[in-house]
Amino acid sequence: MSKTDILYNGTCPVCSREIAHYRRLSTARDLPHRYDDLADAENLRTWGVDAADAARRLHVRKDGRTHIGVPAFIALWEGLPGYRWLARFVRLPVVFFLANWAYDRILAPLLYQRHVKRQSKSAATDAGRHSKK
């Protein structure tokens, strides 16, 4: 089985829950998966991507190739027991088109928008703490 690296947004509640599920599966089966949180600047350097791009879509590196968005999910699911059928299904042309459209136009932008709001709130809270000192 080939090594699979996953770059995800650990501050996103939806993303972190989903990745925690995948991590449990891969750990239980001792699969060669590494999960990198984009909050760690070293992970971003290793991946060669900036924080904003990393937060916009899931990134998966497998067999020397980096997959982004729906292709990243497919690459991840291919190596997870119980999800291989989903990878095959989403690879079907019409399903892939619809999944890609929904992820790129609705889901990913919505999750990214929430990420930006969380970052803004966090920055404002930090600024408020520093100004009170």
Q: 108 lies in a domain?
A: yes
Note every long-range contact of 66-74, with CB atoms under 8 Å and residues 24 or more positions apart, other chains counting: 69/100, 69/103, 69/104, 69/108, 70/96, 70/99, 70/100, 70/103, 70/104, 72/6
Q: 27 lies in a domain?
A: yes
- Write out pLDDT tens, residues 21-62: 999 999 999 999 999 999 999 999 999 999 999 999 999 999
Range of the domain at 15: 4-128
Q: What is the pLDDT of residue 130?
A: 61
Number of domains in the chain: 1
- Write out pLDDT tens, residues 75-100: 999 999 999 999 999 999 999 999 99
Q: 133 lies in a domain?
A: no
What are the Cα distances from residue 39, in Å, to 6, 17, 44, 51, 81? 13, 16, 8, 8, 28
Q: 16 lies in a domain?
A: yes
pTM recorded for the entire structure: 0.88
Q: What is the pLDDT of residue 119?
A: 87
Q: What is the pLDDT of residue 129?
A: 65
Q: 56 lies in a domain?
A: yes
